[in-house]
Each structure stands twice: as C-alpha cells, then as structure tokens.
Structure 1
Amino acid sequence: MTHPTDIPRDPGAVALPATLHTALQLAEQGLPVLPLRQGKGPMGNCRTCRKNACGGRPNMKTPGPCACPAPCHAWAAATTNPHILTSPAWAPAWRQAAAVAYHPGGAGVTVVDLDNPDAVAWARQNLPATRTVATTRGEHWIYFGAMTSPNAVRPSVDIKSLMSYARWLGPGTGAMVQLPDVVRALAVKEPAAVRPASRPVAAAAAAPVGGGECRHRSPVYLERGIAMAEQRIEEAPDSIHRTVYRMFLAVLSAHGRCGCLTDAHIKRLFTAAQAKGESLRHCEDAWSNAVAALGM
C-alpha cells in the first residue's frame, strides 16, 4: 500500500463538496477515508449507534462496525468504497465536513504525530527521515507498516495507525521508509518498578551479539546516541522508570543488532540511571525487557 503523492484534478468532474472530492481521490489510491467535523473530530454516531448501543463488531478491526449506513464509529467508518462515500446516508456529513481524515493502519502506514517544535526537534535527532507533512503546530512523520496507536508516548508525541485516524493535510515531502523499531518501542509499556537493592554501580547485563560490521560506519554515531541517552536520563524531572526503559529501547533499537554496542556503553547507561535513584535490579529488568521487546 502506497501513500498518495498527489491528488489529480479533473476539470470535467461533477461538482462535489471539496471534502468529498478529496476523499474520493484518496480512496481511489487506497486510503480509507472519513469526514471530520469542525474541531477535527469525527461525525457523531447516529441515534441507533449512539453510545455504541448497536453493539458494533467486537474486534472493531474492519470498516463499519455495524450495519449502519451512516459514517458512525469514528475511524471504523473509514472506507475506500466510492458507493458508500457518495451514498445518501453520508451526504449530510459531507455537507458539514470541515476536513477529511484517513485510517493509517487500514492503509498499512503509521503516523508519528509531532505536536510542537520541540517534538519535531526530538524526531529529527532520534527517528529515521521519512515522508513528512506539515501540521498546524508541528509535523506528521509517515512510515510504511502498521502498529498499535498509543497517545502521549512522550511529550507532545502520539502514534496514529491501527484503530485511529489522522487528518489529511496533503501528500507531504520526502520518501517514505519502513517503520523502525525505535517507533514500535515507544508503544511498549515500561516494566513495573522494583524495590531498590543495595548493589554496586555496575552493568550486569551483556551487550547483544551483533551481526557483523557496524552499519553506521562511524563510532561518532554510537557515541552521540549513548551521550544523548545519558542526558535524557540525567535531565528527566520525573517518570524515571519510563525514561530509563525508553532510553534502553532507543539505544538497543539503533545499535543492538550491528555489533557496535559494548558492555562499557551499557555500564554508562546503568550509571546514569543509578545516579537518578534507579536500582541496579530495575536497570537489569528494564534492559532485559527492552531486549525481549525488540526480539533480540
């Protein structure tokens, strides 16, 4: 499934609401779409489906969770079927629609929603470049591949993919790349905290065995990643368990498979975490869970 790179214009097309015209063009290219009301929210459910009184489909994984012909149930109403999009049941929604949204997971993509300049700066330092779309306050970074859709994975960063919707704001710029492990790792909940243990500052975990020559080809890249993780841990004002775990995930996702990560690097991370009050036991647990989460 590819993301549209442009919306062709047909001067001879029948006049339609601008939002419906855009939706039909996107649906033709494989994006499941739905109308958004003013305020960027989906259309409210009809009377029959209000408060999910209709029951819906238990798994909510396919467009149209019930037999209702109207655009109900938010993301689950998204469709590529032009007959549904232009049906009389959808006409009132298009007349009042302020924008068009799409179901990223249904199109096989994931949107990293960066809601302000600080979040964008973080992405540029930590995520591989991909297609980007400017938003009102930040950017959408779009990757090939679907995943779960947690909100607030870090300050001002949401993930929109399966069972979610994203506003269509244009084709964006840049070449889309595969969804990286570092983004998938953001959705993994950190392990529960453990009681502090009186053990020395040392890394009991071992570095994963890499697959050969470092693909980064420069020790500077690794040093920058370790230093950045240390800084994030040292500057964390709260949620230290979450920060430690996610920094371990970030380092492992970038360096754990190429053979450049050493026990000395891990010791630096553990030392930074323990300086913030983390126990060695929790560091070991967080590292083991990060290794398991990434399938190493």
Structure 2
Amino acid sequence: MTHPTDFPRDPNRAALPAHLRTALWLAGIGLPVLPLREGKEPFGNCPACTRSACGDRPHMKAAGPCRCPAPCHAWGAATTDPDVLTGPAWARAWSQAGAVAYHPGGAGLTVVDLDDTDAIVWARQTLPATTVVPTTRGEHWIYRGTMQSKNGVRPGIDVKSTMSYVRWRGPGAGTMAALTDIVRTLVVKEPTVRQTHAVIVAVPAGGGQCPHRSPAYLERGIAMAEQRITAATEAIHTTVYRTFLAVLSAHGRCGCLTEAHTGRLFTAAQIKGESVRHCEVAWTNARTALGM
C-alpha cells in the first residue's frame, strides 16, 4: 500500500494542506472522508443547515443527508469526490483541520475501537485476528462488512461502522478479516428478565446423586460443556445459551447439579467475555424453555 506522503511528487497537490492531501489519497482508495477540528470533532453545520433548517432529520439514516456543499452533518458529509474535497466550501475547513476522519460504513467496514490495555487484552482473547491500527491509547481493529454503530459496548470499547466516523491513523498491519457474528453481537442488547432467578440448582436430599446416571457421566458432561464454550470463536451468546440448555436438559431435573458445576460453566462463559448478568439470563431462559 502506498502512503499519502507520496503526493508531494505531484506539483498540483504539493501546495495543498497536508490533511487534504491525505484525504484525497484515502478517497482514491474508496474511503469517504471528512475534516476534523482540533480535538477530533467534526466541523459545525453551516448557517443553512444549523438546527436542521435544511430538513436533514428525515434522512439521517443515509450518508449525505442534504446537498449542502459545506462539510456539514459530520459523518454524513464524508465523500470520495475530489471536486467536493477541493471545492471552495471545504477550503476553510481544511486550512483549520486538525485531522482527517473517514466513514467506515460508507466504505463497507467496521472498526472496533479499543481504548485501553484491558480492552486490547480482551479483544486478543476473543475477537478474530484482523487489520490492527495503533492509536494514542489503544488500537483500531478493522473488519470487512458493516453493522450498527454503538459506543460503550464493553468497558473501553466502541463499535463504529454505519452513521459514524473514525479518525484516520494509518493503514495498520495484518490481513483484514470478514465481519463475524462474534463482532456483531457486541452491539446486541442483553435480554431483560423481569424477575431474577437463582442460578444455583438446589441439591435435594440424598446427596444430589443422579438416580439414572453415574457421577462419571455427569463429570464428563460438565467437562464437555466447558470445552464447547471455550472453543467457540463466534456467536458466543448463542453458544452459552445452547450449552446451558443441553446441561439442564440432561441433569436439571434429577438434582445432581451443584453450585460447583454451575460455577464452572459460568467461569467458562466469562472467560469468553460474557458478563455475570448475561450468564444468569441465559441460565434462566434455558430453564424457562425446559419448563423448570
């Protein structure tokens, strides 16, 4: 991959502001771009577009909410058109720009923005390897494919794709992977439960021994359930729920499950990134599905 610093060899572009040269290079490889002010914020709307005077509200789910020639509407202004980027309406913005941003969804991309060390450690243990771009405090993990954008999907983690923008920090390294379910589920809201149920299966009188299976069968089943959760590389939410469902289907009614068994299953799920609350919800939903 070439780099936008190659542009000074073109005498027509050598005199352009550095951020505009970068933007033209990015536009040339298919990334819709826009200027950012110092502080990574988009430029404010022009007088004709302020307070939605241009009628942008009905169209904000699509890029380019109005035909204003100025860099208005943040991500909605992102473009690959060199005539727009170099036009007089954008000239003042480029002269004051502090950085260049791009609209990942407009380029068919999704960026997982990891803002600290803990978030990076979690991603390396959980998400598929892909192109990684270092940032000031963390990393951007970039995938092919688009999805809903959402901030704060986990501590220190934002997802930016459609209706969002990302500051350009360089091409990064590594082969870009396709978007998978494990990334898409980051923005899925955990199901709510009206009433919290205990996650420990009560041990009945008689020591909790399964009346129709041996202790070895139970141990083998729990070990296999742990392995199934640990080996999952995508659709973690679904895998956890289905695993809980299988365990409860085999042992949920005979009283052989103990707090130690459920603790092992919850621990395996949390290592894969699930919260305690989601484990509780998945367990409760599995019990409900089985009529328990």
Normalised TM-score (structure 1)? 0.71
SS in 2 for 1:174: coil
Q: Which residue does 1:33 correspond to in 2?
A: 33
SS in 1 for 2:51: helix
Matches within 5 A, 1:120-131: 120-131=120-131
Matches within 5 A, 1:145-160: 145-160=145-160
Q: 1:139 and 1:22 mapped to 2: Cα distance? A: 20
Taking a change above 3 Å as real, the CA distance of residues 265 and 199 of structure 1, as seen in their structure-2 partners, is: closer
Aligned residue pairs, count: 245
Q: Does 1:116 align with 2:116?
A: yes
Q: 1:191 and 1:167 mapped to 2: Cα distance? A: 32
> How big is each residue's C-alpha offset from its partner over 1:35-68, in whole Å with a ceiling of 9 and x where there is no partner?
0000000011111111222221523244321121
Give, as a single letter, the amino acid of the residue that structure 2 aligns with 1:81: D
Q: Does 1:250 align with 2:236?
A: yes
Give, as a single letter, the amino acid of the residue that structure 1 aligns with 2:173: T
Q: 2:21 and 2:152 mapped to 1: Cα distance? A: 33
Q: Which residue does 1:272 correspond to in 2?
A: 266
Instruction: Give 1:146 shift.
Output: 0.2
SS in 1 for 2:178: coil
Q: Which residue does 1:86 correspond to in 2?
A: 86
> How big is each residue's C-alpha offset from its partner over 1:138-165, in whole Å with a ceiling of 9 and x where there is no partner?
0000000000001100000000000000
Contact 1:120 1:138 in 2 (8 A): yes
> How big is each residue's C-alpha offset from its partner over 1:99-149, in whole Å with a ceiling of 9 and x where there is no partner?
000000000000000000110010000001000000000000000000000
Taking a change above 3 Å as real, the CA distance of residues 149 and 279 of structure 1, as seen in their structure-2 partners, is: closer
User: Which has the larger share of helix?
Assistant: 2
Q: Which residue does 2:3 correspond to in 1?
A: 7
Q: Which residue does 1:72 correspond to in 2?
A: 72
Give, as a single letter, the amino acid of the residue that structure 1 aligns with 2:195: R
Taking a change above 3 Å as real, the CA distance of residues 21 and 223 of structure 1, as seen in their structure-2 partners, is: same
SS in 1 for 2:111: strand
SS in 2 for 1:142: strand
The answer for unaligned runs of 5 or more in structure 2 is: 203-222, 250-260, 268-275
Q: 2:172 and 2:24 mapped to 1: Cα distance? A: 19
Give, as a single letter, the amino acid of the residue that structure 1 aligns with 2:11: A
Contact 1:194 1:282 in 2 (8 A): no
Q: 1:193 and 1:100 mapped to 2: Cα distance? A: 43
Contact 1:57 1:66 in 2 (8 A): no
Matches within 5 A, 1:128-277: 128-197=128-197, 201=201, 223=226, 226=229, 250=236, 252=238, 263-264=246-247, 268=262, 272=266
Give, as a single letter, the amino acid of the residue that structure 2 aligns with 1:263: A
Normalised TM-score (structure 2)? 0.72
The answer for unaligned runs of 5 or more in structure 1 is: 203-219, 230-247, 290-296
Contact 1:61 1:76 in 2 (8 A): no
Give, as a single letter, the amino acid of the residue that structure 2 aligns with 1:186: L
Taking a change above 3 Å as real, the CA distance of residues 261 and 63 of structure 1, as seen in their structure-2 partners, is: same
Instruction: Give the share of equivalent positions with the same residue, in percent.
Output: 53
